[in-house]
Chains A and B, each alone.
Chain A
């Protein structure tokens, strides 16, 4: 990705000051990078800081999956039978179902992106392989992106670090001083991680058909477009003629979304927003909404005449 020579990623430009103010008003620390997919023009705020991916780890996993499909290593229509007792926990998708299901690999990919299904993601990760995910990221030039484990692994560290027996108990203990700070799942040095800039680079590669062959990139774009969540990136672009595709990531104090915003004039922008709130509240609508607001500020500054 080449910049046009205008450095809008440094501190203190007018655009980034407005974005910083929006994050502050929402009570979060924000990390953002936005890039015009076709020209490389960019806006950033702490764009190279390491960030916790949370469920955004499903994006490099999806790319690695479709690269294996393209290479003939995996058959996307292969059917699996998944028993409820084997499935990773979660509030959506197969994680929420009670009975045995039969499903194809590519439909697992669909549930993993459309509703952030943890059960689907962990089955796919097992088939694709952790090393292959990291190798695909490295091959795409993402040297600071690393997936450390599955959703189930992450849940296990959360319970162990909080000395809790259930997720409910993890939430209950978050106000005790020191508990949040010892959760490895929230430490970008220890858990699955990337940088805002590397995530827009990855999405740009998917939208330019560079992350995999064109057919596989199109399949991936379809899935990002099917994501159901309206409260983050999408909320910043309440326009019927603008397409917002993306993938969220959520853990206590962590709210993320990376995606692509496409305008009818052909302008298309990869945006990655990662936030951390001070409060460990599960529901913080202003922290969700600022992901959309900051993304719109960034995209609008990219759309103004250079």
Chain B
């Protein structure tokens, strides 16, 4: 039997728990799908689903086999992706994801530094948010990435953790200290302004952490606007609608807006390279080394020995096993 094909059917039925919907997703009719599941059950000698007239439920053996099946399918996908790369022969490439807000000069510096280090390899960069990078790395659609923490880390390895303090982007007229560039702004003084920041779906962990840290330091924005493109954020700042929390721009300033550091450095983005563990393809280690060096040099990121220790004073209602 075509075990992989049958397992794929099994996984889709298990996800939908509905033969009609599963058949639709698989682009096939329902009767052959039911027959495939029956054949698979016969082959494995266990019942995978309980079917009543109204409901399809995964059995206990089915639940156990679901994870195994997903694992096999992910590996099969990887076989195809490795084969595709092998077919491309000498045009070997490292496929890497980058967050969309790094800025042009950093992307250019990264490409130049990689070319110098590995002239034999092509660097195929894709603008990809953290959440999508984690998925693509697991599926083998990317070899490496530059992503924001915290993120789901199963089966990934990370390069050195880099921290980048955030400051605030204000309309030029509204900035304290007039022309003085290093006049600090207190986060709590931003209280009345809306916030514009990167979309949550790009890096949900980092987005939530940023908002939590804002609240912790006295800034609860009345509204949060999500800007996919940094220039859209600048537009909202220029219009006086919102302030943006961003790293110090590497390429100088945009007319009409000014960047100010935050008092006490309460906010920072944590960034690192990531790749699938173990045995990353050739070139991934070089990409990670180059990207880490460029981010330190060009983006003002500084290495953290380890993630800052989280200080938690336990409360009864949030204690372990409350």
Q: Which residues of A contact B (CB under 8 A)?
A: 2-3, 5, 10, 27, 48, 50, 54-55, 90-92, 96, 115-116, 118, 143-144, 151, 154-155, 158, 167-168, 171-178, 180-181, 189, 229, 231, 248-252, 277-284, 288
Contact = CB atoms under 8 A, between A and B. Distances in A.
A250 B212 contact: no
A305 B322 CA distance: 37
A181 B308 contact: no
Interface in B67-120: 67
A172 B321 contact: no
A250 B319 contact: yes
Contacts of A281: 212
A253 B156 CA distance: 20
Contacts of B208: 27, 277-279
A78 B158 CA distance: 55
A177 B153 CA distance: 6
Given A27-B204, A181-B152, A280-B150, A175 B321 contact: no
A297 B58 CA distance: 27
Contacts of A174: 310
B70 to A, nearest CB: 11
Contacts of A180: 150, 153
A40 to B, nearest CB: 11
Contacts of B322: 55, 91-92, 116, 229, 248, 250
Which 8 pairs of residues, A with B, have the shortest CB-CB distance?
A175-B307, A91-B319, A171-B312, A172-B309, A250-B322, A91-B316, A278-B205, A27-B208
Contacts of B21: 10
A278 B308 contact: no
Given A92-B316, A251-B320, A282-B318, A171 B58 contact: no
B59 A90 contact: no
B248 interface: no
25 contacts: A2-B54, A3-B54, A3-B55, A5-B54, A10-B21, A92-B322, A115-B316, A116-B321, A143-B59, A143-B60, A144-B63, A155-B320, A172-B311, A175-B308, A175-B309, A176-B306, A176-B307, A177-B149, A248-B322, A250-B317, A250-B322, A278-B150, A279-B205, A279-B212, A280-B310
Interface in B186-209: 204-205, 208-209
A23 to B, nearest CB: 12
B314 A167 contact: yes
B125 interface: no
Given A189-B67, A251-B320, 11 more contacts: A2-B54, A90-B319, A92-B316, A96-B316, A172-B312, A177-B151, A178-B153, A181-B152, A250-B322, A280-B150, A281-B212
Interface in B146-185: 149-154, 156, 158, 161
A136 to B, nearest CB: 16
Residue in B58, B154, B311, B319 with the greatest tally of chain A CB atoms within 10 Å? B319
Contacts of B212: 279, 281, 284
A83 B272 CA distance: 49
Contacts of B63: 50, 144
Contacts of B141: none
B18 A283 contact: no
Contacts of B308: 175
Contacts of A282: 312, 314-315, 318
B318 A250 contact: yes
Interface in B42-64: 54-55, 57-60, 63
A154 B154 CA distance: 21
Nearest to A278: B205
A163 to B, nearest CB: 13
A177 B59 contact: no
Interface centre among B307, B315, B317, by most chain A C-beta atoms within 10 angstroms, is: B317
Nearest to B131: A278
Nearest to B204: A278
B167 to A, nearest CB: 22
